[in-house]
Amino acid sequence: MGESSPDEMSLYSKYEKEEAELKGPIENFAQYEEYVQEYREKYDSYCSINKTLESYRNEFMTLGKELEVSRGRDKQRFYDMLGQLKDSYRKCGPRHKRLKKIFIVLHEELKHLKQMIKDFAVSYARDR
């Protein structure tokens, strides 16, 4: 299972917080552009984290299936797989929890930014 480099985790550390920071409504076009830029930056990280979390999910599902298949057939293989599963979890568990928390915060912030951008675009178009 892939482990992260310190550089990779430092890319996301700026988004590591207890809860999402939700900005207020957009007041002008310059602020609109800032929100759009922020959305793009956060969305790139969000997609990257999602890809990593998905790879963990897939790997653990594969290990789980292999474990299930070997359960009644090959005791040695079963215990080897169980050890591998535990080892993978020990290596990836803390990182997975950390990334999942960042992912959830980014999800909330992106949802909010998208709504603020949409609201401003509607009012901007209406006022023209």
Q: Tell me the pLDDT tens digit for each residue of 79-106.
A: 888 898 899 888 888 899 999 999 999 9
Average pLDDT, the chain: 90
Q: Tens digits of per-residue pLDDT, 45-69?
A: 999 999 999 999 998 899 888 888 8
Residue 9 above 90 pLDDT?
Answer: no
Q: Are 67 and 81 in contact (CB under 8 A)?
A: yes
pTM of the model: 0.82
C-beta separation of 26 from 116 below 8 A? yes
What are 99-125's pLDDT values in tens digits?
Answer: 999 999 999 999 999 999 999 999 988
